[in-house]
Amino acid sequence: MGGTSLTTSSKKLYSSLLSLLFFLLQSASGRELKFALLVYRHGDRSPVDNYPTDLHSESEWPQGFGQLTKIGIQQQYELGQYIKKRYSNFLSSTYKREEVLIHSTETDRTIMSAQANLAGLFPPSGDEIWNPELLWQPIPVHIVPKEHNPKLRYPIFHCPRYLKLLKETIVSSEFQLMLQPYQEFIKTISLHSGYNPETLAYFGNFKLWHVQDTLLCESIHNYTLPEWVTKDVMAKLDELTVMSVSVLFGLHKREEKAQLQGDSDLDMNPDAERPTVPMEETLDISTSSEPYISKPKITGTRKPVIANLRPGIAFP
Ligand SMILES: *[C@@H]1O[C@H](CO)[C@@H](O)[C@H](O)[C@H]1NC(C)=O
């Protein structure tokens, strides 16, 4: 969604935010657009942590670590404007509470991203204007607490089977072969960054990514970088970061890993009801010719996840 304004933040591979927008429209026929689900991440942020020898401390960032920056606010605002234009034939021109539902994870930067996005998407117009000098209006952002429902936050590390597959991936010959050409480089980075080589080479702990991400954020914001950080070093760190994502979601037993990440509330919440039909049936919304908004086809005992938030809206 809105790729052009998010190229910077899309590089930030891990952090916690996903926001969801649910656009609804009541009735229609034929191939008319009836429902849109938008998933986007937060905008540009400060580093989430630093590495031992980092030249910059947390206090040098206006709001500390892991926070949405002014660049991030601007990106989200522009993304909101883009969505407004892109869906101009679908959304009302004014804010209508029955039409949209916005979800965010429980993180400052993601909540703020959703808010900045909505400032661009629904600036008040006409009768909505309450202060002519401030063309902004409050729009609710619903927070999804991660302990209740981690579905917007991946990967899920408290699934024992997933952790086992992760460990298997790291020791797999396929991954070790990929890692081979980087062994010397990792040693060099360990020397410069202050992490010991074993810590750095263990892909499950995100330390290598911390080095890459922190340097990337610092370079975006024109902070002085240490001399050892050359273009080539950054390129290699980027490659290793991509590889660490492959470890989480790809390579060894990719499909099973994906499945374990796919229905978190059932796996993690002991109180959740178990479906009596296969998930494919309850989740088959793409092929349905029925308007699934007003009449959701949910045949299992599984409840629509979002339905309790607002009457009349069901999301299988
Ligand atoms: C960093 O410096 C460049 C070049 O001077 C400038 O265009 C850019 O706006 C600066 N970025 C920030 C975040 O200040």
108-147: pLDDT as tens digits = 999 999 999 999 999 999 999 999 999 999 999 999 887 6
| Helices and strands, number each (H, E), in the chain | 12, 4
Helix (H) / strand (E) element for 306: namely none
pLDDT per residue as tens digits for the range 26-35:
444 567 888 9
Q: What does the mean pLDDT of the chain come to?
A: 75
Closest residue by CA, ligand 1 atom 1: 222
Whether 61 shows a pLDDT value over 80: the answer reads yes
Who has greater pLDDT, 140 or 158?
140
Residue 315's pLDDT band, with cuts at 50, 70 and 90, is very low
Both tokens of 118, joined, read 């909505």
pLDDT per residue as tens digits for the range 274-284:
333 222 222 22
Nearest to 233 by CA among 245, 241, 221: 241
Domain at 3-153, CATH class? alpha beta
Q: Name the strands in the sheet holding 100-105, side by side, starting at the edge strand that comes first in the sequence.
A: 35-40, 19-24, 100-105, 142-144
> Could you tell which of 216, 222, 223 is best to mutate to test the pocket of ligand 1, judged by most ligand atoms within 8 Å of the CB?
222
Q: What percent of the chain has pLDDT over 70?
A: 70
| Residue 246: exposure state from Cβ atoms within 10 A (0-12, 13-18, ≥19) | middle
Mean pLDDT of all residues in 147-157 = 65
Of ligand 1's listed atoms, the one at least distance from the Cα of 69 is 13
Closest residue by CA, ligand 1 atom 13: 221
Question: What separation in Å is there between the alpha carbon of 247 and the centre of ligand 1?
Answer: 34
Which of these ranges, 72-86, 157-171, 175-189, has the smallest mean pLDDT?
Answer: 157-171
Closest residue by CA, ligand 1 atom 11: 221
Q: What percent of the chain has pLDDT over 90?
A: 47
- From CA 60, how far away is CA 121, in angstroms rounded? 32
Of ligand 1's listed atoms, the one at least distance from the Cα of 71 is 13
Question: What separation in Å is there between the alpha carbon of 219 and the centre of ligand 1?
Answer: 9
Closest residue by CA, ligand 1 atom 3: 222
What residues form DSSP beta bridges with 37?
22
Whether 293 shows a pLDDT value over 80: the answer reads no
Provide residues with CB under 6 Å of ligand 1: 221-222
**Domain ranges (residues) in the chain:** 3-153, 160-260
